[in-house]
Amino acid sequence: MYYQRVWAARRDAEQEKSGFMDDSERSKDIAMGKGFTIFLGAAELAGSLGIIFGVLAQLAAIGLILIMLGAIQKKLFVWRTGFWGESGTNGWSYETTLVVMNLVILTTDGGNLSLMKLLSSLQ
């Protein structure tokens, strides 16, 4: 379970690092404002860190699920990409995978290896 959390969060963090580096280019790509793009990147990065370290992992998973559902909605109804996309990598399959992984994290309470469980066992 811990490795799943790290893998899911690492993929999100990698994506968001590039978004922070060039936020104006990313805001053009997703057709959103620069401020909202920065907020979105910060929310995804915070959710990823929360999942990696197990700090409020369920809330982080809910937040990431909502963000991924927004991305799926944009790709499905606005950009009209298919599940796999034109090149096989730009569809909404990636976001669906992350939604399912975050649902597992949400329903299993983040697994046994989390900072929140460690802190609760010390009390």
Which carries the bigger pLDDT value, residue 88 or residue 64? 64
Would you say 87 and 33 are in contact if contact means Cβ atoms under 8 Å apart? no
Q: What would the mean pLDDT of 13-34 be, rounded to a whole number? A: 69
Q: How far apart are the first and last CA of the chain?
A: 24
The distance of Cα 68 from the centroid of its chain, to the nearest Å, equals: 6
Eight-state DSSP code of residue 54: T
Predicted confidence at residue 61, as pLDDT, reads 93
Residue % of the chain over a pLDDT of 70: 82
Provide CB contacts within 8 A for 42, sequence distance 6+: none
Provide CB contacts within 8 A for 26, sequence distance 6+: 18, 19, 37, 41
Comparing 3-12, 41-50, 52-61, 114-123, the range with the smallest average pLDDT is: 3-12
Q: Give the mean pLDDT of the chain.
A: 81
CA dihedral for 31, 34, 36, 41, sign (positive or negative): positive
Predicted confidence at residue 53, as pLDDT, reads 84
Global pTM value: 0.78
Predicted confidence at residue 3, as pLDDT, reads 64
What digits encode the pLDDT tens for the residues 70-118? 999 998 998 888 888 888 777 888 889 989 989 998 888 777 777 777 7
